[in-house]
Copies of this chain bind each other. A is one copy, B any other.
Amino acid sequence: MIGHDPARTYRAAVIGSGSGGLTAAIGLAGLGHESVLIEAADVVGGDCTNVGCIPSKALLHAAATADPQPLSTTRRLRDHLADEETVEMREHPSIHFVQGWARLTDRREPHVILVDTADGEVEVRAEHVVIATGSSPVEFPIEGLDPDRIVTNETLFEAQDVPRHIVLVGGGAISLEMATAFGDLGAAVSIVELQDRLAVNEDPVVSATIRAALEDRGVAVHTGTSIERFDGTTAVLGDGSTIADVDRVVLAIGRRPNTSGLGLDDAGVEHGTRGIVADDWGRTSVDGVWAVGDVTGNTLTTHGANAVGRKVVRGIGLPYLPKVGSLGAMANAIYSRPEIASVGLSLDEIEAMSPTRRRRYEFRFADTDRGFTDQIEHGVVVVEAERFTGRILRASIVGPAAAEMIGIFTLAIDNGIGLRKMYGMVHPYPSYAMAIGKIVDSFALDTFTALPREWWAMTRGRLRDRLRR
């Protein structure tokens, strides 16, 4: 419902109505707790619904299915969902909706939050505060380029027409998805990435695969360089090359947490450049102040914000339950074509492990029977596993339905099922998932034919890793 009672102390004040905030507010309502949901924008849903996952997926689908009005279809779908969520929050019987900018104060029992609304400043009192203010794209001017030609995910979907030539700055999820969508829509597409490969958080083989697929479709990929300036409509890059005839530039090089103006220092909430310092349960340095999602830098995905949001609901709503059990494995997905998904340890974490201890397996979809009938050129499954035990350290998929298939590995990691236990698992013929079966077979061949050797290698590697710590 709209509005709240300033004299009342609510169970929680939730700041931000994106994925993390909605999960917290709705979850607490489900447990019978009333909360105040504070949102600065006039629509609910945050980045994901309004300028992120939802419009990007809608545009990808509209583009792939040759929708004649791709951008207006995208906005229509996005607005429909945002309106639905907004109405739901404004009418929810135990969520009190307040529109305005919130800041914490040093009054802690209960926590007192000041909200700058259209009608002036109001006070919200709550036992708990959940900060879910998200993040914003990093923006910067480009010399010689009219600022009107620079867009981010916040403005990209408002365009009336498909650009003739779009330059995507950054080689991450947003750029790869938009390269796919705008490529399908007939735009010329260039990507400029400062690092030496696309999708730097993914396995290098994944980077090479998505690059080859995009280049095959005519996308120009420039890595290891950046735009120095524009001469008219020509981008001049640091490596001396140029990109001519550009009419739009999308900045997608990273995100910064929305922490400013929140009164974090007044309230004593520890934070840094990555955002608010919080643990897997969303707990911050201040008792009763929780933080979820992008604003923490711990997770930068909707499912990440949801997962921690659920922990926060449990922490606030069922405080007598023990806070044991870590978060489940958190897969990443990029809905480019081919799709990308990965789960497990980060590349750095793997790099830090003794090479003696692990083995790497790759299987290309082209070498599966379905990859043959469907003539899949670009696609691969990569698994880094511990030798002997087969413990899955990291799995990466680039190819059809990667984001649907990754759950096989997520479930395996969550439940301590290694490649060894996956031996004998039957995948339907001729699914793409059979590539996973081929990797398991390779592991079995390496392992079952030389158990002592593999055991020693694993043991030596573990020992080295333990000594190094």
Interface residues of A (CB under 8 A from B): 19, 48, 53-54, 57-58, 61, 77, 81, 301-304, 306-307, 310, 325, 327-333, 341, 369-370, 372-375, 400-401, 403-408, 410-412, 414-415, 417, 421-422, 424-434, 436
Contacts and interface: CB of A to CB of B under 8 A. Distances in A.
A77 B54 CA distance: 38
A372 B81 contact: yes
Contact of A373 (B57, B304, B411): B57
B81 A426 contact: no
Contacts of A333: 428-429, 431
A427 B407 contact: yes
Contacts of A404: 400-401, 404-405, 431-433
Contacts of A375: 61, 77
B302 A424 contact: no
Contact of A332 (B307, B328, B330, B428): B428
Nearest to A49: B369
A374 B65 CA distance: 10
A429 B369 contact: no
Nearest to A414: B425
Pick the 7 closest A-B CB pairs, nearest first.
Answer: A333-B428, A401-B401, A302-B429, A57-B373, A303-B429, A401-B404, A58-B373
Copies in the complex: 2
Nearest to A410: B425
Given A57-B374, A333-B431, A407-B433, 10 more contacts: A61-B374, A302-B430, A303-B427, A331-B426, A341-B428, A401-B401, A407-B427, A407-B431, A410-B427, A411-B412
Contact of A369 (B54, B369, B426): B54
A298 to B, nearest CB: 13
Contacts of A48: 429
A430 B307 contact: no
A331 B325 CA distance: 31
Given A333-B431, A373-B54, A429-B53, A411 B408 contact: yes
26 contacts: A53-B430, A54-B369, A57-B369, A57-B370, A57-B430, A58-B374, A77-B375, A81-B369, A303-B426, A303-B427, A325-B424, A330-B426, A333-B428, A333-B431, A341-B428, A400-B401, A403-B428, A404-B405, A407-B408, A407-B431, A407-B436, A408-B408, A410-B427, A411-B411, A414-B424, A414-B425
Contacts of A77: 372-373, 375
Contacts of A422: 411
Contacts of A301: 428-429
Contacts of A369: 53-54, 57, 81
Contacts of A424: 307, 310, 325, 327-328, 414
A425 to B, nearest CB: 5
Instruction: Kindly name the residue among A404, A421, A433 whose own CB sees the greatest number of chain B CB atoms within 10 A.
Output: A404
A424 B310 CA distance: 9
Contact of A331 (B341, B406, B427, B432): B427
A247 to B, nearest CB: 26
Nearest to A425: B328
A298 B393 CA distance: 36
Nearest to A306: B429
A393 B166 CA distance: 50
Contacts of A411: 408, 411-412, 417, 422, 425
A201 B328 CA distance: 35
A430 B373 contact: no
A191 to B, nearest CB: 22
Nearest to A325: B424
A289 to B, nearest CB: 24
A404 B81 CA distance: 28
Contacts of A307: 424, 426
A421 B415 contact: yes
A327 B426 CA distance: 9
